[in-house]
Amino acid sequence: MCATSVRPTARGAATSIRSVSTMESTFTSLSQDVAYGTLDVDAAVDEWFAEAEAAIGG
């Protein structure tokens, strides 16, 4: 698969591979911030869902 390919989601929208990569990168960064104590869990959850919604066009 190339970076511009898409796959259907449960809602019928398309999520690009690039969006999934962005969400994974954000999750990794936020989990490190939580592990090092620079961000609390609630803030990390809020930020991750905001980034995920933006990445999938929601």
> Residue 10 falls within a domain, yes or no?
no
**Total count of domains within the chain:** 1
Supply the pTM of this predicted model.
0.65
Asked if residue 9 belongs to a domain, the reply is: no
**Is 23 a member of any domain?**
yes
Residues found in the chain: 58
Higher per-residue pLDDT: 3 or 47: 47
Q: Indicate whether 8 belongs to any domain.
A: no
Kindly state whether residue 29 falls inside one of the protein's structural domains: yes
**What pLDDT is stored for residue 58 in this prediction?**
63
Of 52, 48, 41, 46, nearest to 9 (Cα)? 52
Distance between CA atoms of residues 52 and 56, nearest Å: 6
51 is in which domain, residue-wise?
16-55
**DSSP secondary structure letter of residue 17:** H
Query: What whole-number percentage of the chain has pLDDT above 70?
Result: 72
> Is 50 a domain residue?
yes
Tens digits of per-residue pLDDT, 11-23?
Answer: 544 557 778 888 8
Is residue 45, in this structure, part of any structural domain at all? yes
What's the average model confidence in pLDDT over 28-52? 95
